[in-house]
């Protein structure tokens, strides 16, 4: 595997794992999905495809030989989410 691509995937992986944790906390009874969406300027749109996120992300972590989500990664992901939400 190309090391540059691997490093990019390892960089995004904690943010995906954190997003899954947050979604699970928000509604523990729902299934968490990753999808391909279309979104119109007015906010309407359509889900074109979706699949269960947890297993896919953990399989990706295994392929990348990534360890579990750490507290430091979780804090970084939370900070990025905050900055993104407030446009900072």
Summarised one tens digit per residue, pLDDT across range 31-74 is 999 999 999 999 999 999 999 999 999 999 999 999 999 999 99
Class of residue 24 by CB neighbours under 10 A (exposed 0-12, middle 13-18, buried 19+) = middle
**Contact of 45 with 8, CB cutoff 8 Å:** no
What token pair was written down for 12?
Answer: 């995004």
How many whole angstroms separate alpha carbon 14 and alpha carbon 8? 11
pTM listed for this prediction? 0.81
Instruction: Report the pLDDT value the prediction gives residue 88, as an integer from 0 to 100.
Output: 75
Would you state the structure tokens that stand for residue 10, as one six-digit string? 């390892």
Cβ atoms 32, 52 nearer than 8 A: yes
pLDDT bucket at 26, cuts 50 / 70 / 90: very high
Give the mean pLDDT of the chain.
94
Cα–Cα nearest to 36, from 46, 26, 21, 24? 46
């Amino acid at each position: 595997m190309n090391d540059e691509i691997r490093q990019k995937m390892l960089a995004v992986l904690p943010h995906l794992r954190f997003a899954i944790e947050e979604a699970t906390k928000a509604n523990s009874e729902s299934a968490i999905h990753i999808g391909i969406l279309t979104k119109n300027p007015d906010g309407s749109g359509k889900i074109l495809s979706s699949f269960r996120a947890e297993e896919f992300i953990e399989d990706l972590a295994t392929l990348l030989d990534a360890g579990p989500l750490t507290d430091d990664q979780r804090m970084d992901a939370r900070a990025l989410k905050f900055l993104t939400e407030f446009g900072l």
